[in-house]
């Protein structure tokens, strides 16, 4: 029986010492468990994705030194094969580097493979830095089994829709017994099911079992969910590692089947996985934890308006960092309802979060007076509304600067899409937690937070009162926008389209088709699409948001600002 160690770890871009220590310590665990092969993830030495750090000679030199340290450590376990991902120089024509998989044993590289399929869609831009590997199989004999290797995207083209090359074919021709795939596959809604379905189909097609090892953790906008798995031609997915946390597992492999290390049968994973709200909660919580830790923040600060967006942001921040590390500030103006303060107080009491009050009435009046004196014109309308948001944003940044807390912005995807936000006001911040959630999903996740807690975390009044920016008398979001259950369907159809899960796309498509049957519906659609286009300049200047869906604002949606379309 071949004994495999699955090392699903949380790496940080550029943390060569930390990444190397993690790899070496888990090599030791694998050797202690008498594993034949220890499998790590894609670009684990330098972290995924380093971007233009790959053009920094010092960065590349550190990657080489880290590899040398790992190879030296492997001599302590001469019978263990360690499969890792790293950067290698391209000795031929083309881009300077390869995205490489190395198999190391007893201080030597015993197999070397270069990723053939380099994604350039969505959030990926690997062809910017890497040259594809040759269209050949890389194999290695270990304990009487012939192993073949691939890296992440190499396994996503078995139907040959996106690339001319299909690495599965070369591995089939090489008659390998097992494919080992190392990955840095970011998580989004439906991604787990997509991975399982695609690899189960490919494995059945080629009659080749496969071990898929993924990384875990947050890196900027991206979150990696781990969920490494093993799949066989006859049984499909037979093993799955933990989701959203590090994991280390020992597996046996013989006669095209995976087993526990003692030969016992594995319990087949539940195909349903997490509910969408629970998935979303865990994705955002892990994303914030790692973003704050990697950027050196221990505390966060949030502007608490008494509305649903800030309430959910505060609740998620508490789950990620603890109540003692979350600060809320309420900043009432002359247009704030009594509930904007009282609901903030109740929310923070429920969460045991410290709430500061910083009224802005006098500041608004001073600005208005100064404006009229300088420009001989009263401050009114949208300018006055935006001023209030900008004063609040300035106060929040003052707190961030003074006390070293990361400011979390509270905009949701519906509002960000149509520009229903104030640049240099409520868009201020270092990270957005709910910027990839449509408004209807904000409500759904808020209800889930309460349900999972078994008590009222987010107050009932916050969940039931009509949404309002409270920047003008009796203002409601619906004064400027369609109801959110309608707006969200338009936006899903326009922004994500067929990237949506099939049932979501069908619902959005049906809604839009019905809307376009009337002149009023056509005008409504045209107005919303125009708002999305006109507000690209705001999104370009907004803070990063934690990605939850297949297409999020940021690197995953690249649109021009100045365009006539």
Q: List the chain domain ranges.
A: 2-262, 278-476
The verdict on whether residue 537 carries a ligand-binding annotation is no
Instruction: Name 7's bridge partners.
Output: 248
> b or e along 527-542 (b: 16 or more beta carbons within 10 Å of the residue's beta carbon)?
ebeebbbebbebbeeb
The torsion angle over the Cα atoms of residues 49, 52, 56 and 59, rounded to 10 degrees, is -10
Check if the beta carbon of residue 190 is closer than 8 Å to that of residue 225. no
Out of 62, 115, 346, 413, which one is annotated catalytic?
A: 115
The verdict on whether residue 411 carries a ligand-binding annotation is no
- Predicted local distance difference test score (pLDDT) of residue 556: 86
Out of 46, 82, 152, 421, which one is annotated catalytic?
A: 152
* DSSP summary character for residue 186: B
The verdict on whether residue 415 carries a ligand-binding annotation is yes
Residue 517 annotated among the catalytic residues of the structure: no
The verdict on whether residue 162 carries a ligand-binding annotation is no
Distance CA 182, CA 168 (A): 14
- Predicted local distance difference test score (pLDDT) of residue 163: 92
Distance linking the first and last C-alpha atoms of the chain: 61
- Predicted local distance difference test score (pLDDT) of residue 469: 65
Pairing of strands 247-254, 257-260: antiparallel
Distance CA 143, CA 220 (A): 40
Out of 3, 42, 62, 421, which one is annotated catalytic?
A: 42
Q: Which of 450, 480, 456 is nearest to 467 (CA)?
A: 480
Say which CATH topology domain 278-476 has: Rossmann fold (3.40.50)
The verdict on whether residue 306 carries a ligand-binding annotation is yes
Whether the CA torsion 167, 168, 174, 178 is positive or negative: it is positive
Residue carrying the six token digits 């197999």: 111
The verdict on whether residue 304 carries a ligand-binding annotation is yes
Where in 447-533 does DSSP place strands (E)?
Answer: none
Neighbour tally for 260: CB within 10 Å: 14
Say which CATH topology domain 2-262 has: Nitrilase/N-carbamoyl-D-aminoacid amidohydrolase (3.60.110)
The verdict on whether residue 138 carries a ligand-binding annotation is no
- Predicted local distance difference test score (pLDDT) of residue 565: 67
The verdict on whether residue 536 carries a ligand-binding annotation is no
Where in 185-285 does DSSP place strands (E)?
Answer: 210-214, 216-219, 222-225, 229-232, 236-240, 247-254, 257-260
Angle subtended at Cα 495 by Cα 471 and Cα 161, rounded to the nearest 5 degrees: 165
- Radius of gyration for the chain, computed over Cα atoms and rounded to the nearest angstrom: 26
- Predicted local distance difference test score (pLDDT) of residue 471: 67
- Predicted local distance difference test score (pLDDT) of residue 472: 65
- Ramachandran assignment for 175, one of left (phi > 0), alpha (psi -120 to 50 degrees), beta (any other): left
Q: What is the pLDDT along the chain (565 residues), one digit of tens a residue?
A: 999 999 999 999 999 999 999 999 999 999 999 999 999 999 999 999 999 999 999 999 999 999 999 999 999 999 999 999 999 999 999 999 999 999 999 999 999 999 999 999 889 999 999 999 999 999 999 999 999 999 999 999 999 899 999 999 999 999 999 999 999 999 999 999 999 999 999 999 999 999 999 999 999 999 999 999 999 999 999 999 999 999 999 999 999 999 999 989 998 999 889 999 999 999 999 999 999 999 999 999 999 999 999 999 999 999 999 999 999 999 998 777 777 889 999 999 999 999 999 999 999 999 999 999 999 999 988 998 899 999 999 999 999 999 999 999 999 999 999 999 999 999 999 999 999 999 999 999 999 999 999 999 999 999 998 877 666 676 677 777 889 999 999 999 999 999 999 999 999 999 999 999 999 999 999 999 999 999 999 999 999 999 999 999 988 888 888 887 6
Residue 152 annotated among the catalytic residues of the structure: yes
The verdict on whether residue 465 carries a ligand-binding annotation is no
Distance CA 303, CA 344 (A): 10
């Amino acid at each position: 029986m071949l004994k495999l160690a699955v090392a699903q770890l949380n790496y940080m871009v550029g943390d060569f010492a930390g990444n190397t220590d993690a790899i070496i310590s888990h090599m030791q665990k694998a050797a202690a468990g008498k594993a034949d092969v220890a499998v790590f993830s894609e670009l684990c030495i330098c972290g995924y994705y380093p971007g233009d750090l790959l053009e920094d000679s010092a960065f590349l030199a550190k990657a080489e030194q880290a590899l040398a340290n790992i190879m030296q450590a492997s001599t302590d376990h001469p019978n263990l094969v360690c499969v890792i991902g790293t950067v290698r120089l391209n000795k031929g024509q083309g881009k300077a580097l390869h995205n490489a998989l190395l198999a190391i044993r007893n201080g030597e590289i015993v197999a070397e493979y270069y990723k053939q399929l380099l994604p350039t869609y969505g959030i990926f831009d690997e062809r910017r830095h890497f040259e594809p590997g040759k269209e050949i199989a890389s194999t290695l004999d270990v304990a009487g089994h012939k192993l073949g290797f691939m890296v992440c995207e190499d396994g996503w083209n078995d139907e040959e829709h996106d690339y001319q090359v299909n690495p599965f074919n070369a591995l089939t021709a090489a008659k390998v017994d097992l494919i080992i795939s190392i990955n840095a596959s970011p998580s989004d809604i439906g991604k787990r099911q997509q991975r399982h379905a695609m690899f189960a189909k490919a494995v059945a097609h080629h009659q080749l079992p496969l071990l898929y090892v993924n990384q875990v953790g947050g890196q900027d906008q991206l979150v990696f969910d781990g969920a490494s798995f093993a799949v066989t031609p006859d049984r499909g997915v037979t093993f799955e590692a933990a989701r959203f946390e590090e994991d280390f597992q020992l597996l046996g492999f013989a006669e095209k089947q995976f087993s526990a290390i003692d030969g016992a049968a594995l319990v087949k994973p539940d195909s349903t996985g997490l509910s969408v709200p629970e998935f979303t909660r865990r994705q955002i919580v892990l994303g914030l934890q790692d973003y704050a830790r990697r950027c050196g923040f221990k505390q966060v600060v949030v502007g608490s308006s008494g509305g649903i967006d800030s309430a959910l942001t505060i609740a998620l921040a508490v789950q990620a960092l603890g109540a003692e590390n979350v600060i809320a500030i309420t900043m009432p103006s002359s247009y704030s309802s009594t509930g904007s303060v009282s609901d903030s107080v109740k929310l923070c009491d429920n969460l045991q979060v410290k709430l500061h009050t910083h009224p802005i009435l006098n500041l608004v009046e001073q600005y208005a007076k100064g404006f009229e004196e300088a420009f001989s014109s009263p401050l009114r309308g949208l300018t006055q509304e935006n001023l209030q948001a900008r004063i609040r944003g300035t106060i929040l940044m003052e707190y961030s600067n003074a006390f070293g807390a990361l400011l979390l912005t509270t905009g949701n995807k519906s509002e960000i899409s149509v520009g229903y936000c104030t640049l240099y006001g409520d868009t201020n911040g270092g990270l957005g937690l709910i910027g990839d959630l449509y408004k209807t999903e904000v409500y759904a996740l808020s209800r889930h937070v309460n349900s999972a807690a078994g008590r009222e975390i987010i107050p009932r009044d916050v969940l039931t009162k009509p949404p309002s920016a409270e920047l003008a008398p009796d203002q409601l979001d619906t004064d400027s926008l369609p109801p959110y259950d309608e707006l969200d369907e338009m936006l899903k159809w326009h922004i994500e389209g067929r990237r949506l899960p099939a049932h979501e796309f069908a619902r959005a498509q049906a809604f839009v088709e019905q809307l376009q049957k009337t002149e009023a519906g056509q005008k409504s659609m045209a107005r919303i699409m125009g708002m999305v286009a006109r507000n690209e300049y705001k999104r370009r200047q907004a803070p990063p948001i934690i990605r939850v869906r297949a297409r999020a604002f940021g690197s995953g949606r690249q649109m021009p600002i100045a365009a006539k379309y």
